Amino acid sequence: MFRHRFATFRLFALLPLLALALGAPTACGDSGDTGSDGAAPVPSEEVDAALLPEDASTSDAATSDARPPSDGAVECSDERLRVVAGNLSGAGGTYDDGRGTRIFKGLRPDVALVQELRVGDNSTAAQRAFVDAAFGTGYAFVRGSLFGAVDIPNAVVSRFPIVESGEWTDPLVSNRTFVWARIDVPGAADLWAVSVHLLTTNATERGNEAAALVTFMKGVPAGSLLLVGGDLNTNSRAEQAVTNLGAVFVTEGPYPMDQAGNANTNTPRSRPYDWVLAGGALEACKTPVTIGADSYVGGLVFDSRAYAPLSDVAPVELADSDSPLQHMAVVRDFFVPR
């Protein structure tokens, strides 16, 4: 039955593309608002995941009463939002060895964009146990569909309530989807967060995937806060995928980096694979990431092998970012726009 619902959703996920081509509006989710281009938001089917009650726990992320000045029409609140993207699967291509769990726990995100989330027997209970251990019992989550051994689903985890969620079809790969969540952050606008994992094959295909994602994002209700992050597998910051995402998200620097100034995120630290990108309103309220005594203007690339002191990010251990972990986590902080 679940396979049938997912197949149906894949068909529905193509409707925004047809609607854009034909100039016809599409059915919306539960809001009834029109999208940024005048089209209604894309249809959705809620993914079967444990969405928690709205009494989410308070984040342990670093907080400050200081906030950046308003940028034009955007007024920034005092509510800090820490976002962490991480393709942190370990031995056996799962999160069972505890490395990724410790890194997420030490970085204390409010919203996490997770890739390759296979854990335990992959049941809802196993996913719930991972989220409880890595983030906290008050966090909600949604994970993409997993049917077989080759599937490596994306996920979104949130301290704030997830009020709607689903999957958009990646047109070039069949073992994962663009997983999205509409999150009820403080303020009038909801946050649409998307967890992605683009192909390793070549830059052209990554560019096409990014273009498809942008088409889906144009169906999101106008005035929403926008966020995308994850493993883009980009060899440089000038790839077509980055250019295409720039139609919706702010892609310019300064970029996250580690304490030594290295902004690359693959295990050898030679390529900028992993990203956290925000739409204009959220980007206008960006703020430096502060952990311990250090502050990072563009955000932090976290490598346990290079970070000191590790006591700032307990319970992370020195070798947690080493192989078989695939990439480094990327951390960015924002104040939620009013």
pLDDT at 325: 76
21: pLDDT strictly greater than 80: no
What pLDDT score does 242 carry? 98
Sequence spans of domains, the chain: 50-337
Tell me the C-alpha distance between 277 and 290, whole Å: 18
Q: Tell me the CA distances in angstroms from 172 to 16, 103, 114, 196, 198, one per residue in order.
A: 17, 30, 20, 13, 9
In the chain, % of residues over pLDDT 70: 79
Residue 336 has pLDDT above 50, yes or no: yes
Average pLDDT, the chain: 83
The pLDDT confidence band at residue 323, using thresholds 50, 70 and 90, is: confident
pLDDT at 27: 28
| pLDDT of the residue at 76 | 97
Task: Give which of 246, 266, 241, 263 is closest to 254, Cα–Cα.
Answer: 263
**Domain 50-337 sits in CATH 3.60.10.10:** yes
pLDDT tens column, 127-146: 999 999 999 999 999 999 99
pLDDT at residue 91 in the model: 87
Reported confidence tier of residue 45, pLDDT bands at 50, 70, 90: very low
Share of the chain above pLDDT 90, in %: 75
Mean pLDDT of 282-305: 97
Closest CA to 74 of 223, 288, 289, 297: 223
Taking only the tens place, the pLDDT of each residue in 48-105 is 333 333 333 333 333 333 344 444 589 999 999 999 999 999 988 999 999 999 999 9
Does the predicted model carry a pTM greater than 0.85? no
pLDDT of the residue at 12: 37
